[in-house]
Amino acid sequence: MAAPSQHGRIAITVTVNGVTHEREVEPRRLLSDFLREDLALTGTHVGCEHGVCGVCNILLNGETARSCLIFAVQCDGAEIRTVESLGSIDNMHPLQEAFWEKHGLQCGFCTPGMLMSALELLESEPNPSLEAIREAISSNYCRCTGYQNIVEAVQHAAAKMQEGAT
């Protein structure tokens, strides 16, 4: 269990994208800042920093969460996945390929959050309806695309992932 150290910092052990990290954090350290600054995982973006825009969405123990609304200290013992867990430029995840092929991004700022929200959906619902896709990304702001291509990209990814699974 997390115990306070003499500096007011608390030791935590967190698994991020399969790698276990031990760090001491100030209690007010947001998970989003912990990922970006302490672990140098800058794929997770920060936008509004009060839970509205969704760009900082990550998977916490398999479910999406706003990383700007959780303190790192609360994640002691947790398993976290960020956008970096999906794929690399040479070996993209089907979701990333689909966003590329369907022009599901323009400036790309919202994309990490979109991908993690879409991943949560496709892991529980491999063949979602258009309505389910819209519902799943309804808490993610995109100011460029108008969402149509994002919805198509998620649908395309679902097909790709099903093909891949057979």
CA 24 from centroid of its chain's CA atoms: 23
Please report, for residues 14, 57, 113, 157, 161, the alpha-carbon distance to residue 108 in angstroms, rounded to integers and kept in the order given. Answer: 27, 14, 10, 17, 22
**Which residue's entry shows tokens 């935590």?**
12
Q: Smallest distance, Å, CB 160 to another protein?
A: 22
Considering only 14, 41, 55, 65, the residue that binds another protein (CB under 8 A) is 65
CB 70 within 8 A of CB 80: no
Q: Is residue 64 part of the contact set for another protein (CB under 8 A)?
A: yes
Considering only 5, 13, 19, 63, the residue that binds another protein (CB under 8 A) is 63
Q: Is residue 49 part of the contact set for another protein (CB under 8 A)?
A: yes
From the list 68-76, 102-110, 148-156, 158-166, the region that binds another protein by CB under 8 A is 68-76
Q: How many residues does the chain have?
A: 166
Residue 65 tokens, joined: 């969460």
Q: Measured between alpha carbons, how far is 11 from 108 in angstroms, rounded to an integer?
A: 34
Q: Measured between alpha carbons, how far is 153 from 94 in angstroms, rounded to an integer?
A: 10
From the list 49-57, 82-90, 96-104, 149-157, the region that binds another protein by CB under 8 A is 49-57
Q: For another protein, which is the closer residue by CB, 69 or 107?
A: 69
Q: Is residue 129 part of the contact set for another protein (CB under 8 A)?
A: no
Q: Smallest distance, Å, CB 104 to another protein?
A: 19
Q: Smallest distance, Å, CB 56 to another protein?
A: 10
From the list 59-67, 90-98, 99-107, 142-150, the region that binds another protein by CB under 8 A is 59-67
Pick out residues in 22-41 that bind another protein (CB under 8 A): 26-30, 33, 37-38
Burial class (CB within 10 angstroms; exposed 0-12, middle 13-18, buried 19+) of 136: buried
